[in-house]
Each structure stands twice: as structure tokens, then as C-alpha cells.
Amino acid sequence: MTARIKMAHYVGELNNFTQVPDFSHKDSGRGCGPCSLLGKQCRHFTDALRDRVSYDDILGMHEQFARSLGVSAIVDGSKFVAWMRRAVEQRAVEQRVADRASRTAVSAIITVRNPIAFAISHRNRTGEALWRGAGIWRDTYVDALRTANFHGLPQLVVRYEDYMADRERSLERLAAFLHLPLSPKPDNTSIHDTGGNWSSFVPYVGREQLEKFIQQLHGSGRTDAENFIKHARAYWNDEKPQEDTRWHNSINAGDAHGVLSTPGLADVASILGYNIAEVVHLAIKG
């Protein structure tokens, strides 16, 4: 997201880095993904830093990363709205003791994928019915919008489909939201990320390097890695992220009804800017 935005850095899911109880993936996010894949020692996401930072001071952790990376804005990709609430609550304590000039600015970037694609992906990963994924989608975005509005946070909705259709426009919007300049070319030489989605690293480390890394794993670690990426491998692209269209023409009318009959889902989708009729048209088998 930020390879072309000067003075900003996307750092992945910091809730995993700090191992928040009940909100962290215990097998990922504890180090820098791109550096690990390249066989390098990351000078930012270090063991010493991991031992020092805490989810009890999210803003302080962001400030440390900003200094280390030499940027003014940290984009934290933690997925749980509860993590954002924790950061906002910590900011409220800070505001009572800090002068206005030194207060940390917090904004919300709400990234979203259409509910049918999400529900199908959730079913592929968990085996649960589509309506279960649809409910999670609805509840997550209701919570995100409610939390951002309640706390008066500046917010920007970034839809996956819009980004894949017109990356330039999406990056222009993001750069403007962050009040930072957009560079004409990405800086892929300094990507540091604690996220767990290896597929997203392919344009930066290369498909061959990622395949080599997985082949060097042993036992259950390699099995888990292969299972994690088996659905995404066909969409790997060394040059740029490739759109995942596996949900197109993939369900019948009954499945679509199961998703759309989730109370309030269509309303939330509309608020987030989706034409739900168009989404259904793409999803149903012709």
C-alpha cells in the first residue's frame, strides 16, 4: 500500500507481533516477512524490539517504528476492530497529559472486499457455511464504522475491487488522505512487514524466491505453508498483484441468497459503496 507514498510505511499486523491474547496468530507475524523470505536479518523487526514493545502501548510502538523506518506515518494492518479501539483508548489517556502539538494523530483506513468474495474465501479456509462468513463480514464492518464514527476518527474506505481496477486512483486517494506525496515509482527495496500473507510479497521478493523458501521448510511447517498458499499460487505475479477472481461464476442462486439474506448485510455493503446487484451478477454461475 505504501511503497509509493513517501514518509509512510505499511507494517503488517502488529497485533500478531505483540501477541495480543485471543487476537493473534501464534505462528505468524512475529518477524519481518520479506526479510525472512530473502534470508536477511531485519534491522527493524528485531527480537529485542519484540521483547520491548507491548500492546499496552500501541502508539508508543508505532512511534518507535516510525523512528526506525524514518517515516512520519505508520499504517498498521491489524484486522481486529478491538485493536483500533485499544489504540484510541490509549490515545485518550495520552491526550489528558500531553499538549496538543505532541498528541498522536489516529486515523482509520477501512479496507474491504465484497461480502460474497469474503464469504467464499472464509468457506474455503474454514469449511463453514457461506452464511457464517457473511455474518462475520457484516459484524466486522458495522463495528469498524461505528467505532471510527464514535471516536471521530478521519476515515477512508479502500475497496479491494477498486484498487485492483485502478491502482493509481486508489493510491492517489490514500496519499491525499495521509497528506503525503505520491512517488511515480515504488520503492521495493525497503519493504518491512509483519503480515502473514506470503502471496502479497511476491511482487517484492519474486515467485522463485518464495518457492525456494517454502521448499527449505521441513515437516509440518512445509505442509502448513503449502496449505496456506495452495489457493493463491495461481494468482502470483512477479510484476504486480494479480486480481483474485475465483469467486466469479462460482455459486448458484441459492448460495447467493444465503449470503444476502443475512440481516443488514446489503445495507452495510451499500454504505461501503458496493453495487450489490453487480456483485451478485458476477458471482452466480451463468
Residues 6+ apart with CB under 8 A from 241: 164, 200, 203
Beta strand pairing call for 73-75 and 8-10:
parallel
For residue 64, give the DSSP letter. Answer: H
Residues 6+ apart with CB under 8 A from 175: 4, 5, 181, 182
Measured between alpha carbons, how far is 268 from 281 in angstroms, rounded to an integer? 18
Residue at 214: amino acid letter:
I
Please tell me the predicted confidence (pLDDT) of residue 267.
97
For residue 273, pLDDT beyond 90:
yes
217-254 burial code (b ≥16 CB/10 A, e <16): eeeeeeeebeebbeebeeebeeeebbebeebbeebeee
How do residues 65-85 score in pLDDT, each as one tens digit?
A: 999 999 999 999 998 999 999
Measured between alpha carbons, how far is 256 from 275 in angstroms, rounded to an integer? 14
Give me the count of residues in the chain: 286
How do residues 26-77 score in pLDDT, each as one tens digit?
A: 767 788 888 888 888 999 998 888 888 888 999 999 999 999 999 999 999 9
Nearest of 237, 224, 91, 236 to residue 153 by alpha carbon: 91
**pTM metric for this prediction:** 0.88
Grid cell 502448513 is found at 224
Please tell me the predicted confidence (pLDDT) of residue 101.
58
How do residues 134-187 score in pLDDT, each as one tens digit?
A: 999 999 999 999 999 999 999 999 999 999 999 999 999 999 999 999 999 888
Ramachandran assignment for 53, one of left (phi > 0), alpha (psi -120 to 50 degrees), beta (any other): beta
Q: Helix or strand or coil: residue 43? A: coil
Ramachandran assignment for 22, one of left (phi > 0), alpha (psi -120 to 50 degrees), beta (any other): left
Measured between alpha carbons, how far is 78 from 17 in angstroms, rounded to an integer? 10
Residue at 41: amino acid letter:
Q
Please tell me the predicted confidence (pLDDT) of residue 18.
86
Average pLDDT, the chain: 89
Q: How large is the average pLDDT for residues 188-207?
A: 81
Question: In this structure, are residues 264 and 142 in contact, taking their beta carbons and an 8 Å threshold?
Answer: yes
| Start-end of H helices in the chain | 14-17, 33-37, 47-52, 58-69, 81-97, 115-126, 130-150, 160-165, 167-178, 202-205, 207-215, 219-229, 253-260, 265-271, 276-283
Please tell me the predicted confidence (pLDDT) of residue 187.
80
Q: Helix or strand or coil: residue 112? A: strand
Measured between alpha carbons, how far is 24 from 26 in angstroms, rounded to an integer? 6
Q: How large is the average pLDDT for residues 181-196?
A: 84
Measured between alpha carbons, how far is 62 from 15 in angstroms, rounded to an integer? 12
